[in-house]
Amino acid sequence: MKTEVLKEIIKKKLSREDFAVLTNLSTSKSQIFDSKKLLSKEFENYENEINNYYNLKKNGVIDGTEIFILNYISPIEVIIIGAVHIAQYLIDLLKNFNFAVTIIDPRKYFTTEQRFKNIKIINEWPNKALEKIETSSNFALITLTHDPKIDDPALNYALKNKFFYIGALGSKKTHENRCKRLKEAGFNEKEIKSIHGPIGIKFGGKSTPEIALSIVAQLVSETNKLLLNSKK
């Protein structure tokens, strides 16, 4: 593989773009490929096969060819508000999927290294912390504190920036009060209903690990919808 291709791979990984590396096993020539890039003469005769594997995010030798495709998929960014007990279970589950996690909590006594190893933590109030993150509509937000002073600013930010997934922990009564505050803050009914609250799919679990599992299951479901829509 040429040095220019390796440099482009590093550049694209840093920019968190989805792309693939194509290699012709017969000639050893390689090319970076994404949905916006044209195929070189080395690969153009297999455009349909390459696009099929790329859209399905499949790796390996493409059937009937000598072309090897390796997909690089940028992780979905998940922001967790609140370094509470359930956050530890969430992270244990999320690390098995393609998610990059950031925890925001101004309460430093919750965010110790012993509780959260190798996790990005921002010890600031959400309204300040979120200004330091370059977010997009591909981000997900999970609020866990039950404290309106911490959760509400994050929910406001996620709604305004159209995060693809927004979930808030709490009882039905807690969520009703939350919705009232958001309505008073100027959000319309459609925006407020986009929040998954109480968060998680409903399968009857009540323990902390079960609640964490229900949240991750819902997040994975919504992520798959996002990825499916992005291919249309």
The pLDDT, as a whole number, for residue 42 is 87
Banded pLDDT at 74 (limits 50, 70, 90): confident
pLDDT digits (tens, 9 = 90+) for 98-149: 899 999 999 988 888 788 888 999 999 999 999 889 898 889 999 999 999 9
Banded pLDDT at 1 (limits 50, 70, 90): low
81: nearest Cα among 107, 63, 117, 46: 107
Tokens of 69: 């495709």
pLDDT digits (tens, 9 = 90+) for 54-64: 888 889 999 99
Q: How many residues does the chain have?
A: 232
Supply the pTM of this predicted model. 0.78
The pLDDT, as a whole number, for residue 61 is 95
The pLDDT, as a whole number, for residue 14 is 67
- Cβ distance 167 to 218 under 8 Å? yes
The pLDDT, as a whole number, for residue 36 is 77
Q: Domains in the chain, ordered, with CATH?
A: 3-72 (no CATH), 76-230 (3.40.50.720)
pLDDT digits (tens, 9 = 90+) for 178-220: 999 999 999 999 999 999 999 999 888 789 999 999 999 999 9
DSSP conformation letters of the chain: --HHHHHHHHHHHHTT--EEEEEETTT--EEEE-TTSPPPTTTGGGHHHHHHHHHHT--EEPTTSSEEEEEE-PPEEEEEE---HHHHHHHHHHTTTTEEEEEE-S-TTT--TTTSTT-EEE-S-HHHHGGGS---TTEEEEE-S--HHHHHHHHHHHHHTT-SEEEE-S-HHHHHHHHHHHHHTT--HHHHHTSBSS-S--SS--SHHHHHHHHHHHHHHHHHHHHHHHT-
Q: How far apart are CA 217 and CA 200, in angstroms?
A: 7
